[in-house]
């Protein structure tokens, strides 16, 4: 399958939703492990008693970078008509906004809309996704929004 075939197939989806991940919970153990591995161990993330006393959330909140890292899991829901894929890579972000705090224990999911796709190199595509992360408890505003970039390399 050649690059142009993949490019044309994906371009047809620009402006459409191409993925909606299942709901999953971000628990305190996940937050604590993230704190240990990154050093983002501010009390507002890891101290349930203090967070209950001193914050309006009543519980610790998920680290912003932990929330964004969950996009890897969420992108498994993408429905893109790609054939002969060698590998996929996270290519980064054009913009990111952490819109509202996510209390630990919240169920979240990702929603993906295809913004653009362009050839990258001889055998790849750069895919730009308008991404939003939603909490199950709030259908008014997302917890985070990002313009998320993915690189897809095809077999020669």
Residue with the two structure tokens 């890292």: 69
Q: Which helix (H) or strand (E) holds 46?
A: helix 43-46
Q: How far apart are CA 60 and CA 62, in angstroms?
A: 7
- Cross-strand partners of 88: 152
Quote the pLDDT of residue 5: 79
Taking only the tens of pLDDT, the chain with its 156 residues reads 577 777 888 899 999 999 999 999 999 999 999 999 999 999 999 999 999 999 999 999 999 999 999 999 999 999 899 888 999 999 999 999 999 999 999 999 999 999 999 999 888 999 999 999 999 999 899 999 999 999 999 997
On whether the CB atoms of residues 138 and 72 are closer than 8 A, the answer is no
**Which structural domains are found in the chain, ordered by start?**
3-27+62-154 (3.10.129.10)
At a CB cut-off of 8 Å and minimum separation 6, what does 130 contact?
112, 113, 114, 115, 145, 147, 148
Q: How far apart are CA 99 and CA 62, in angstroms?
A: 13
Q: DSSP state, 23?
A: P
Dihedrals φ, ψ of 59, to 5°? -160, 160
């Amino acid at each position: 399958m050649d690059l142009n075939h993949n490019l044309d197939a994906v371009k047809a989806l620009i402006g459409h939703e191409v993925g909606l991940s299942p709901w999953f919970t971000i628990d305190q153990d996940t937050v604590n492990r993230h704190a240990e591995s990154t050093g983002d161990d501010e009390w507002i993330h890891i101290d349930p008693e203090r967070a209950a006393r001193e914050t309006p959330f009543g519980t610790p909140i998920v680290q912003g970078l932990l929330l964004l890292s969950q996009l890897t899991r969420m992108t498994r829901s993408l429905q893109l008509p790609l054939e002969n894929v060698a590998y996929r890579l996270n290519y980064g972000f054009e913009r990111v906004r952490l819109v509202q705090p996510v209390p630990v224990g919240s169920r979240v999911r990702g929603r993906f809309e295809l913004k653009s796709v362009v050839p990258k190199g001889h055998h790849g595509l750069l895919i730009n996704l308008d991404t939003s992360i939603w909490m199950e408890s709030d259908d008014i505003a997302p917890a985070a929004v990002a313009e998320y970039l993915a690189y897809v390399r095809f077999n020669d």
